[in-house]
Amino acid sequence: MRPDVNDAMLSQDIAAVQSSRLSIRRIYLEKGFNASEADSALLYGWKQLRLKVLTPTTALSSESLVNYVSGFGKLIIKTTPVGAAVQLDYDNLSQLTNAVAWPSAGTYRIKLSLDGYKPIEDTCEVQEGKPTLFERTLKPVKKKRESPVKSNRPK
């Protein structure tokens, strides 16, 4: 959490998240998601609002949280092999693949990277209220063959 968010603000945030939970669940169940997915979207939205949208002193209301979270789509990012680092619009996700994010509808830049494999960068269209699968296979980096060391010794 942001170091400049105090305990009182955090307590208000928790109250807003708790009072928003049933509304968010109802919205997401109508869209075909389950309660666990709705809770995941709610927590993702709260984190995004608090870290990237609101100032440290701005109070979070349950109404603003519901409005913000209700427009999300589910983005599932998978790779073969699993374990790649994920950037979503230049922000590092805390999860490695197979990752789930809940962005608003729109086009996003996704970058996947894993040691020993060529990074992949592509775009993905996320629709509101729908799951989107972004699945890629990473290709190993070809190692350069080392040429044998020639000796200067006479034969």
Residues 127, 97, single domain; the answer is yes
In a domain, 154, yes or no: no
Could you read off the pLDDT of 6-51 as tens digits, one per residue? 788 888 899 999 999 999 999 999 999 999 999 999 999 999 898 8
Residues 81, 58, single domain; the answer is no
Q: Residue 66, Cβ neighbours under 10 Å: how many?
A: 20
Could you read off the pLDDT of 76-96 as tens digits, one per residue? 999 999 999 999 998 988 889
pLDDT value at residue 112: 97
pLDDT value at residue 55: 86
| DSSP character at residue 72 | B
Q: Which of 51, 69, 87 is the last residue of a domain?
A: 69
pLDDT value at residue 150: 63
CATH of the domain at 116: 2.60.40.1120
Q: Which helix (H) or strand (E) holds 111?
A: strand 106-113
In a domain, 39, yes or no: yes
pLDDT averaged over every residue in the chain: 90
pLDDT value at residue 52: 86
Longest dimension (CA), the chain: 85
Average pLDDT over residues 108-130: 96
Domain that holds residue 63: 7-69
Q: Is 100 helix (H, G, I), strand (E, B) or coil?
A: strand
- Residue 20 — φ and ψ, nearest 5°? -90, -15
**pLDDT tops 60 at residue 1:** no
Structural domain count, the chain: 2
